[in-house]
Structure 1
Amino acid sequence: MNGANANRAAHGERGRAFGSGKRVAVIVTEYRFNSHADVILGRLLGDFDYTPQVEVVSIYTDQVPGNDMSRDMAARRGVPIYPTIAEAVKAPSVPAPIDGVVIIGEHGDYPVNEKGQKMYPRCRLLRETLEALDELGVTVPIFSDKHLSYDLGEAKWMYDQLKLRRIPFMGGSSIPHTDPVPAYDPALLETANEWLVVSFSTSIEAYGYHGLEVLQSLAERRHGGETGVRAVWALEGDDVWRAMDRGEWPESLMLDALTVYPDIRPGHPRELGQHPVLFAAEYADGSRGYVIQFKDLVDQWGYAFRSEGGGVTVARCDSEKQRPFGHFERLTRMIESFVISGRPPFPMERVLMSTGLIGYGMESLHAKKPVEAPLLQIEYGRGVDGSFRS
């Protein structure tokens, strides 16, 4: 038995068959029940009755909480857990370099800054991954869950480093990939110039990001593509309703969007004891986008947008509310397809844009004033064949 096979046998690796033969290293902040590591990495390890198309050959966990699942799952699946990111990326237990990296920097015990942003070490996780890949002399697809960083300087560095190395990159969350209910003709988005997304939760940054990412996934489909964002502003509590009374954001689109929720409590949100948060983006071409977030009025994301001629389209993102969270199965399939093909399903600029939207939004909320968005002077869109360009 050669050294690589001996190492694999020592780790108890089972003779599992995989559809593509692609091997991935997975870097996570923590792996516990219902964490993002659970619902993504768990599937890649064959949990949830899921048949993976890639093989996890190494794992790194930044934290190991009392309810950790990684050690037990890795032992049962025969996957080594390494003490450093560099070792996980180099994966010494396999005879050839890995084919992809999956970074899941969501959940864990990390500090929160004065703006209310959780300081996940996503930049560090990517930096150490890139350093290891540089040492190996390989370029492989990288997926990173949710937004790039709470710090916009770090986010720009991450984007620039990925571009510099010409690394295929996919990021973001599962929500923009859910089915719209009801379905509608996506061509309606080409002439849209105003969008409002309904979000929820008291976790302003974490769930606000989902709403802003949904917003960006819609806005980028307008005719001519993305032209950038000029400024971002945010309000909370009664200031949201006062701004509504002044006509500073479209109450009608909010009420339209709420019609897609079948079990919503009757009455205007203003009268239902909610403490709303509003994020607003002023796009460079004059278009406007909004995310209004309620404490517990809804439990899925929904939206309304206005197209040329004044017509309004409404839909709800059909995310699954309980385990097994089927929308994460779709995301996991997308990640696997991305690793296998090396082709991102959408531009990485969307992730930079949505990172900037939540970053500037939290800054505006903290400063209690609108902020300019120099990081978001970005143009990208679709070519005549329907593919994205950047």
Structure 2
Amino acid sequence: MNASTNRPKKIAAIVTEYRHNSHAEVIVGRLLGDMGYQPSVEVVSLYTDQVPVNDMSREVAARCGIPIYPTIAEAVRAGHCQEPIDGVVIIGEHGDYPMNERGQMMYPRRRFLEETLVTLDYLGLAVPIFSDKHLAYNYNDAVWMFSQLKARKIPFMGGSSIPHCDHIPTFNEQNLRSLREILVISSGGLEAYGIHAMEVMQSLAERREGGETGVRSIRLLGGSGDETWSAMDRGEWPEDLLLQALKAIPGVPDAHPRELEPEPALFIVDYMDGTKGYIIQFKRLVEQWSFAFRNGQGRVTAALCDSDLERPFAHFERLTRMIENFIISGKEPFPPERILLTTGMISFAMDSLFEGRKLETPCLGITYRL
């Protein structure tokens, strides 16, 4: 075995900002050996799009002996290394970026990927790429990004940490084969946290018999007045699944959530095969994600996604290990179509809220199997 196959895989990290508790710190920081993590890969270059007053990147880079390059192209080229990089980690989350009229943070994820691909093309490389959370705030950008990755046959992994959390209690995933309804509980900002709930829902829904068939329509009621509760009264979403999912979250007050949270948001997802998906997004009632689903036999299963609320955020350690294994092996841990689909789901949901109506989504007829 030659020396090049013995050495750790080398990674270029492209981030919006690197500060305390940012996604860059809890992922790239681990890859640099911080937070008690023992990395199996080597970060050899860094690009930061912004440098806030509480920036950590300069101190960390100096301590670890890695350069911070002024451009993405230079970070990907990593000219100080004798051998080319083996992978790219893109963290387009956090930072001071504008918000559009639809309430979406305009993170430069397409620009990050586009500049990365131009440089990889120049170098003649097709190395694995991880991109944090959803592909882009704009679905047309996401389709372009996905198609460019596919055209180059570049292994791709995206998404967040929450779908990979342990389920408490555990359950027989065979119950998902005949899934007919699923409800996910979430909290926080509609796009930034709604995408976590979309990914949780999709990571379960994709396991139904026949695989994924795509999404027919999306509706988002944004929490103005009591729209969500009125829709429940009309039988438009299943109250029993909400109550079962809430029971899975520790510390939730023993009262009907209607009394505790007057204006939650409601996402309604109609799948092509008739499966129904719902997300109830609270503003303050909960801090974790849980779900309940009903299968074809009428059986209801509920569980908590066991994410941590405090440092060191073990769910990010699990995600980081998945990223490492992906870059080392070049094997995608799940179909990347999941990320394209959930990107479309959250994008059209924000469009639905802006336009005040249900949107038909024939372009989300995305099919895949695990």
TM-score bracket relative to the smaller structure: over 0.9
1:271 alignment partner, one of 245, 259, 278? 259
Report the number of matched residues: 364
| Offset, 1:374 | 2.9
Q: Tell whether 2:335 aligns with 1:352.
A: no
Aligned to 2:193: 207
Q: CA deviation at 1:193?
A: 1.4
1:24–1:56 Cα contact (<8 Å) kept: yes
Report how far residue 20 of structure 1 moved: 5.5
Q: Are 1:156 and 2:139 counterparts? A: no
Look up the match of 1:113. Answer: 100
1:275 positional shift: 2.0
Equivalences for 1:221-370 in 2 at 5 Å?
221-237=207-223, 238-370=226-358
3-state SS, counterpart of residue 41 of structure 1: helix
Contact 1:30 1:107 in 2 (8 A): yes
Query: Contact 1:227–1:378 (CA<8 Å) still a contact in 2?
Result: yes
Q: Which moved more, 1:186-195 or 1:27-36?
A: 186-195
Q: Which residue of 2 aligns with 1:192?
A: 179
Q: Is 1:377 the equivalent of 2:352? A: no
Residue segments in structure 1 that go unaligned for 5+ positions in a row? 1-17, 382-387
2:154 alignment partner in structure 1: 167
Counterpart position of 1:139: 126
Aligned letter for 2:268?
Answer: A
* SS at structure 2 position matched to 1:133: helix
- Provide the TM-score with structure 1 as the length reference: 0.92
Residue range with higher mean Cα deviation, 166-175 or 243-252: 243-252
**Identity across the alignment (%):** 62
What is the match of residue 12 of structure 2?
Answer: 25
Indicate conservation of the 8 Å contact 2:218/2:268, yes or no.
Answer: yes
Q: CA deviation at 1:380?
A: 0.5
SS of residue in 2 equivalent to 1:357: helix
For 2:41 and 2:174, how far apart are their aligned partners in 1?
A: 34
Q: Secondary structure at the match of 2:252?
A: coil
Q: 2:53: which partner in 1?
A: 66
Q: Which amino acid aligns with 1:216?
A: Q
Three-state SS of the structure 2 residue aligned to 1:153 is helix
- Aligned-pair RMSD on alpha carbons? 1.1
| Residues 316, 137 of structure 1: alpha-carbon distance in 2 compared, 3 angstrom cutoff | same
SS at 1:291 equivalent: strand
Q: Which residue of 2 aligns with 1:6?
A: none
Check the 8 A contact 1:141/1:339 in 2, yes or no: yes
Structure 1 counterpart of 2:39, from 52, 61, 78: 52
Conservation of the 8 A alpha-carbon contact between 2:265 and 2:280? yes
SS at match of 1:206: coil
Question: Whole-Å Cα distance in 1 between the matches of residues 7 and 306 of structure 2?
Answer: 29
Partners of 2:308 and 2:367 in 1: CA distance: 33
Task: Output the CA distance in 2 between the equivalents of 1:365 and 1:229.
Answer: 17
**CA displacement at 1:19 relative to structure 2:** 8.2
**8 A contact 2:185–2:289 mirrored in 1:** yes
Residue in structure 2 matched with residue 3 of structure 1 by the alignment: none
